[in-house]
Amino acid sequence: MKPFHLRLTTLAQSLLVCATAFAAGTHASAQSVLETVQANGKLTVATEVAYPPMEYLEGGKVVGYGKDILDLIVADMGVELDQLQLPWDGILAGVLAQKYDLVATSVAITPDRADKFAYTRPLAVADTMLVKLQRDGSMTSLDDVNGKIVGVELGSTQAQEVEAVDAEMKARGDAGFARILGFKSTDDMRLALASGQIDIGTIPSFSLASMQQQRPNTYERLATIGTGTLFAWVAHPDGADLRDRINLALDTLEAAGTLKELQEKWFGFEMELPADYLPEGAL
């Protein structure tokens, strides 16, 4: 058996090793989101690839306005891109659970989200548009939607605005929509409209041109509702440093005129995006 003083020395050395290891582990866990991305050399993002022309699949590849911007930002950061294709349902919960670094898809900036996520500066702005089939002559304006079935993407701002319109119609004594059907993706909703399962679809206004291009002589604008929505990307609430790094790259793209060029490419027009875009209390 070791002498007592030697046992104490051995114990002290063991405690010192444990303390050093703990300190090292604490330092590693204290890495910020941006530091972790830079250390790994990879940015992992989640994207709903069903929102043309923002982000969608073409020939098995992710394309769109948002994808073009994302590729430029990743190149500017000097990291690799790992892009996960996920449905909208659950995509925001995933970034909160730190399953990926960023949601690089069209997330509407809303007060109830702004204190939960670190929003980038807006990439696009759009009104909520109600669309119908061209062959449907029963509707020409918002006055004709009573008794109609409308489709929305579950959890979207468009769904909230449709519900608000329905409540307004019923408050003034109208019948309101016959049903508001929720879909997991905008693709599912558009297919339901094309097949006649619903009478009206809801889209951001910048999506109409691409829908008409993909399915000529099929869809047309019925009405516009809401007050306009800003779309951005979001990071974990602890990821403000990553958000700020992305904003820096976006500022550079804007100053070079690249954002305007991409808007002309994908939308056919330029957008005015506000500098003051976050609600009070936002991260």
User: Is it true that the peptide bond before 53 is cis, omega within 30 degrees of 0?
Assistant: yes
Question: Is the confidence at residue 26, as pLDDT, over 90?
Answer: no
Q: Mean of the pLDDT values across residues 71-90?
A: 96
pLDDT in tens, 99-151: 999 999 999 999 999 999 999 999 999 999 999 999 999 999 999 999 999 99
Tokens of 164: 């608000």
Architecture of the CATH domain 33-125+230-266: 3-Layer(aba) Sandwich (3.40)
> 72-107 as b/e, with b when 16 or more CB fall inside 10 Å?
bbbeebebebebeebebeebbeebeeeebbbbbbbb
Q: Which pLDDT value is given to residue 280?
A: 87
Counting residues of the chain whose pLDDT is more than 90, the rounded percentage is 82
Question: Is the confidence at residue 181, as pLDDT, over 50?
Answer: yes
Q: Which pLDDT value is given to residue 29?
A: 52
Same fold? 33-125+230-266, 127-229: yes
Q: Which pLDDT value is given to residue 152?
A: 97
Round to whole Å and give the CA distance between 120 and 246. 7
Contact 154, 160 (CB under 8 A): no
Smallest CA-to-CA distance from 206 within 136, 263, 157 is with 263
List the end-to-end C-alpha distance of the chain, in Å, as a whole number.
60
Residue 251 amino acid letter: D
In this structure, of 13-22, 77-86, 115-124, 264-273, the range with the lowest mean pLDDT score is: 13-22
Displacement of CA 112 from its chain's centroid (Å): 15
Please name the residues in contact with 166: beta carbons below 8 A apart, sequence gap of 6 or more. 176, 177, 180
pLDDT in tens, 223-233: 999 989 999 99
CATH top class, domain 127-229 = alpha beta
Domain extent listing, the chain: 33-125+230-266, 127-229
The SS3 call for residue 164 is: helix
> How open is the CA angle 119-120-124, to the nearest 5 degrees?
110
Residue-averaged pLDDT of the chain: 90
Round to whole Å and give the CA distance between 179 and 186. 17
